[in-house]
Structures are given as C-alpha cells and as structure tokens.
Structure 1
Amino acid sequence: MRATPSIDVVIPVYNAPALTRRCIDSVITFLGESIGNLYVQDDASGAETREMLDQLPYKRVHVFHAQTNRGFGASVNEAIERSDAFCVLVLNSDTTVNQNFLPLLCAALAADPQLAVVIPGGNDYARHDMDQYLRRPGGYIATYRLQGHAFLVRREVFQEAGGFDPAYGRGYYEDIDLGRRLDQRGFRLGVHPDACIQHKGGGSFGRGRSFRQLVRGNRNLYFSRYPDARRNILLLSDNFPLAHFPAPLIDALEEVFRKGGYVHWLSPEPARQLLCLQMRCYAMSIGTIMMLLVRSWREDKRITEVWMLPDVSRLVRAVIVSWARIQSVKVLSWESKTGNSPESV
C-alpha cells in the first residue's frame, strides 16, 4: 500500500444539526489536506438538518438526502459505494476531529497488510490504560471489536465483506458483526492510541427507550450468530508475566478473542503487558473475584470458564472451585512446566 493512499470521508447523518455541523467543520479544518471527497448521507433527517447540509460552503462535501430512514449501516454502505478511494474514513456525526490523525492510521495500514481497519483512540477508550497493551507493527493495539463511531477501512475489503449487514436495521451491533466477518476472512482490527477523536455518543438516536430496544434486539441477533462471543474467561495467576505463558495458552487466548470473547486476568499485581483490548487485568482480591463472579445481570457478561495457572493460592483456588461447581462452570488448570493442554479441575 502507498504511504499516502487516497482517502474519502463518509458521515451518515440523522438529525442533530449542531453536532453534525461541528463534525463536518472539524473534518475540513484538520483533515482537509489529507482527504479527497466527503460524502454526507442524510438519513431522512428533519427540515432543520437538511437545510443546514444544503447550505454547507465546502466544495468537496457532497450531500445525499435519503427519502426514508434506513439506519447507520445502510447509509454507510450507500455512501461508500460512491467512493473510489483506496481507504474510507467513516465518522459518526457526533464525533469531533481535533488533529490530523490520518498519517498515523495510514502508517499502521502500510506496516500490516492484514490490518483492514484502524480506529483512532480518544474518549471512547479512556477506561483503558493503553500503555499496558502490546503494540503491533505501525504502533496500533489489537482489538477484536469494531467500534463504528470512527474508523479507517480499506474500501475494497469493506465491500468484499459485504459492508454492514442490513439485518441490523437502524443500527447497533452492525459494526461488531462486521468485525467478526473481517476476522473470519483473516483480517485484523486495531486501535491507534496516538491518534485521538472525541465522540459524544447518542448524538442522533439518543439514549431513550427506542435506543434500549434497538440495542437489545440487535444484541440478541449478534449473539445468535456468534454464540462463542459470550465467552468470558476468568484467568487466575500468581505474578506470572505474559512472556512466560506457554504457547498453547497464548493460542487458546487468541481463539477466545477471535470469536469475540473476553479474558479477565487476576494476579497479585496488575500485568504490565496485555495482548489486546479484550484482555483486562485486575489486582487479585476477594472483592474483585466476587465482583467478576456475580456478573450475571446480563448473560453475555457472565463468567463462562475459569482458567488457573500454577501457584494460585490455596484460598483463591478453593473459593473459585467451590463457586464453579455450584454454577456448573468449567475450571481448567494450565501447567507451565509442560505447556500441554489444560486439565479439568
């Protein structure tokens, strides 16, 4: 891939005229020298938003008004069809750009031919300590969950994968579903922590009853397609660095991530290095253990398996095994001496 590929921007819009105008202005201000066309797909917004879009003063901004509201995924698909650029930057209308992060994102794509999508960091990733995560070629951190509020994608890869699935209707989980399909095709996803974008969240659909209904229905659809994405592994160890993990354990962790699952790692001291953003690490305590074990308020948050490395304390082992037997949760023990497959406890 060329160091500076051609890039178009796509912004699907549904109402929220003030946020949308701020987003478009910020793109032109900070990314204008790095992009070609900006395609705004108006998803049957109200009169105020339509009028604002039609009065935009930018020559490279092309506005298309849909007759009916089709949702985020269909809007993005239609807009990307208009582009002939090598890459497309897809942005929610409630994002704000405050730096030209495109050179960083393009460098990551150039460094890794299998990287299909790279996401700028920002406030959506503020809960993560990004310094904990292993950097990949090009400086990105691996993720197995595509968050669609802002991402740079190889256009042909997006289209060959079928784009966003219209089955998700007006939105939510269509981006995560696309991430699963890209992974199945052998591509990778990444977040670049040195790039930054601000995301308000809920700027168009809001956070009311209709939002909750959309999320609930599409969550059920997603997990019906990818049941292994419900896996939540509780990994217990002593102060055992990632570099000392046996190869079969690393392979098993990667398999969990590639199918959409999560790993919650407990050790006496938080690990200094983690594999990807779906791996979390906590300091070992009975309170933290209990907090993770009672995550049953939503099925996809529940601990589904427990993996234990050698030298876990007898007290912790006894508590976990007793809880697991009551809950019919599988417990596996990984022995670092042999590096072989784990044994059931």
Structure 2
Amino acid sequence: MPIPSSVMPLSNPSIDVVIPVYNAPELTRCCIDSVVTCLGRSIEYIYIQDDASDPETHQMLDSLPYEHIHVHHAPKNQGFGASVNEAIKRSSASCVLVLNSDVEVSENFLPLLYTALATDPQLAVIIPAGNDYAKHDLEQYLRRPGGYIPTQRLQGHAFLVRRDVFLEIGGFDPAFGRGYYEDIDLGRRLDLGGWRLGVHPDAHIYHKGGGSFGRGRAFRELARRNRNLYYSRYPNARRNVLLLSGNSIPAHFPPNLMDAIENVFHAGGYVHWLAPMRPARLIPCLQMRHGFSIELMLRGWRADKRVAEVWVLSDAPRVWRALLDFWARIHGLKVLLWEEIASTEV
C-alpha cells in the first residue's frame, strides 16, 4: 500500500463535532444533550447541519440553550454526505467527530480516540465501538499501538477523522445522494490512499439506527441503489474467502498467505477463518472473522453475502476438509490448497 504523502503528527489538538440532522427532533435533541453533557470538556464547537428538516425540528434547533453551537439550515435536502462535507468545511479543528443524530453518548471516549490518532500518524479515522459492533467478539482481535483494531470498513454513524485528510480526499461522494454506502465508499478511498482505519474497543456509543429514514421502503430502495453503485466501483469487495486451517494461527501463517489475506482486506472483501481453536487476540483485522454464518453457507441471493472461494491449509482436519469439499462441489466452488493459492495470489 502507498504511504500517504501528508502523514504527520497532529499539531493542533482540537476537536469539533458535526451532526447532520434530518427530522427526528426527539432523537436529535437527545443526541445533542448527550454530546454536551459527556464530551463538552473535550470539544470546541458543535456544527449542526439541518438538512431541510420539518418546522418542528427547525424550531427545536433554534431554541437550543447551549453555547458554542452553530446551526445551519440548508434550503434543500442534500443527504448525509453533502451535509457532513459542508459542516466540516466550516470547522477549523484538527479533528472532527461526525455523529448521526440518532446516536447517544454516555461517556467521554474522545481522549481514547484522539490518543489513537496521535499514536499512529497513518491512522485517518477511528470509530468508537458500541451496539453496532455487538456481533463481533472484539477480544479475538489484535490491537495496534493506540489500542485500536484495524478495519477496512468505515461505519459513518460515529467516527473521529483528521479534518485535513477528509478534505484532501474530497469527503463523502455526493453520487450516493441522501445516504447509505457513502461511508463505506469513503473508507475504501482512504484505504486505497494508504491511510488506516480503526475501531477502538474501549470506546462505546449507542446507535439507534434508521432515525431519519426508518427501515421501510425508502431505506430498502436507497440501500439497494447505493449498494449497486458501491460494488460497481469495487467489484472485489464482494469477495468472501473461506479459509480452513488446523491449529495454525495468523501470526504463524506463511508470509505469502498473509499477503494474500491482506489483498482480500484491501479490496474490501472478507476472510472467514474456520479452525477448531477459539482465538484470543489473534485475528489481525475486523474483515477476518472466526467461523462462518448460516447465510454464507446457504449461498443467499446477495452475491456479497456468499462464499466465493475456499482456501485450505495443509494442517486442516481431514473430516472438516472432506465435509467442506462436499459442500463446495454442491455449490460449484473450487477448493484450493495453499500451494495453489500461493502461486495465484502472490
């Protein structure tokens, strides 16, 4: 991966908060109150970008009693990405915490996040863990200096970003319209530019989800349209590799195997590691998961949810390998021994 040309230590330790808002006044007020209460001592300004909300939300924002809050009412709805782009341009802080308006803060996690950025000058984005990461056993993952776990998938509901890097890369792409997948696209572009992304397992936040659009027809149509746009740009992000091993652990994998795994990560894909052991702080990235889901095994209708390739290490248990061979033949998947993988991947 290329090393970003502008890598440098943080020189101005200042943090602003950006909250894009579209309706949902009760959730939005709860978010703002929690930010002021829990993060107030660590931030300078809160920039609220009202994306042409209804009169009730407009009035609530104008009646906020807090100092150091800047509210901007956009004349028309632009969507999440464009709203965040505008608000970040108004900030002059070295780092910006972007929050969805349906997020609630219960602790001051900013010192943890900022320390991670200051420790690793190639880390562009750090995400607090929380209920959106409940499906991950974060104790299985290795931590980098600064205490974070690497990821190649940016979840935009809450993240601290270097402001200069965000602006340099062009921010969120307006092609994604009102929302969905614009955050994952930004993460792909940051990764391709040589920047790192991370999740801090000791920082916690609550995200309700669907606060502006809900989970109905509008959500499904937006998600489908933007999912197709994302995968048209990054077709290898659909790549799900099932890796079968015995007692080998990632730290002891051959270097060319780890290079092949890293290639999958940096293309936006996933490696599902199937092994008899239960790992403890062994897995190098959140795009590597121990085990596999029923959805992967059933070969669901969405291509990005299917196993595309099967890799087998020489120490894989014979019974497991026989069962996997049988399952792969049923679904027309080729099972590659590591020797074959080594010759095609590196």
Band of TM-score, shorter chain: over 0.9
Give the structure 1 partner of residue 342 of structure 2.
Answer: 341
Matched, 1:59 2:67: yes
TM-score normalised by the chain length of structure 1: 0.93
Give the structure 2 partner of residue 251 of structure 1.
Answer: 259
Relative to 1, partners in 2 of residues 1:34 and 1:3: Cα closer, same or farther, differing over 3 Å?
farther
1:194: Cα distance to partner? 0.6
1:289-308 aligned within 5 A: 292-308=296-312
Which of 317, 323, 328 aligns to 1:324? It is 328
Query: CA offsets, 1:26-61, max 9 Å, x none?
Result: 111111111111000000100100000000011211
1:203-218 aligned within 5 A: 203-218=211-226
1:328: Cα distance to partner? 3.5
Relative to 1, partners in 2 of residues 1:170 and 1:340: Cα closer, same or farther, differing over 3 Å?
closer
1:232-271 aligned within 5 A: 232-271=240-279
Give the structure 1 partner of residue 39 of structure 2.
Answer: 31
The answer as to whether partners of 1:168 and 1:174 remain within 8 angstroms in 2 is yes
The answer as to whether partners of 1:333 and 1:342 remain within 8 angstroms in 2 is no
1-structure distance, mates of 2:268, 2:321: 27
Bigger mean CA deviation after superposition, 81-90 or 269-278: 269-278
Q: What is the Cα-based RMSD across aligned positions, in Å?
A: 1.8
Which of 311, 317, 323 aligns to 1:313? It is 317
Query: CA offsets, 1:64-113, max 9 Å, x none?
Result: 11111110000000101101110000000000111111110011001111
1:324: Cα distance to partner? 3.0
Relative to 1, partners in 2 of residues 1:14 and 1:3: Cα closer, same or farther, differing over 3 Å?
same
Unaligned runs of at least 5 residues, structure 1: 283-287
1-structure distance, mates of 2:162, 2:190: 11
Q: Which amino acid aligns with 2:310?
A: V
Query: CA offsets, 1:217-274, max 9 Å, x none?
Result: 0000000000000000000011222221111111111110111101111111222211
Equivalent position SS for 2:172: coil
Which of 133, 156, 161 aligns to 1:125? It is 133
1:311: Cα distance to partner? 2.5
Give the structure 1 partner of residue 232 of structure 2.
Answer: 224
Q: Which amino acid aligns with 1:42?
A: D
Relative to 1, partners in 2 of residues 1:159 and 1:321: Cα closer, same or farther, differing over 3 Å?
same
1:342: Cα distance to partner? 5.0
2-structure distance, mates of 1:15, 1:46: 6
Matched, 1:68 2:76: yes
Equivalent position SS for 1:32: helix
The answer as to whether partners of 2:241 and 2:271 remain within 8 angstroms in 1 is yes
1:310: Cα distance to partner? 1.0
2-structure distance, mates of 1:242, 1:34: 38
Relative to 1, partners in 2 of residues 1:160 and 1:290: Cα closer, same or farther, differing over 3 Å?
closer
The answer as to whether partners of 1:101 and 1:120 remain within 8 angstroms in 2 is yes
Q: Which amino acid aligns with 2:285?
A: C
Fraction of identical pairs, as percent = 68
Equivalent position SS for 1:268: coil
Matched, 1:279 2:288: yes
Equivalent position SS for 2:190: helix
Runs of 4+ that moved beyond 4 A: 288-291
Give the structure 2 partner of residue 192 of structure 1.
Answer: 200
Relative to 1, partners in 2 of residues 1:27 and 1:100: Cα closer, same or farther, differing over 3 Å?
same
The answer as to whether partners of 2:244 and 2:274 remain within 8 angstroms in 1 is yes
2-structure distance, mates of 1:112, 1:295: 39
Equivalent position SS for 1:28: helix
2-structure distance, mates of 1:193, 1:97: 15
The answer as to whether partners of 1:257 and 1:278 remain within 8 angstroms in 2 is yes
Relative to 1, partners in 2 of residues 1:85 and 1:4: Cα closer, same or farther, differing over 3 Å?
closer
The answer as to whether partners of 2:10 and 2:94 remain within 8 angstroms in 1 is no
Give the structure 1 partner of residue 209 of structure 2.
Answer: 201
2-structure distance, mates of 1:290, 1:128: 16
1-structure distance, mates of 2:252, 2:128: 31
The answer as to whether partners of 1:248 and 1:340 remain within 8 angstroms in 2 is no
1-structure distance, mates of 2:211, 2:259: 39
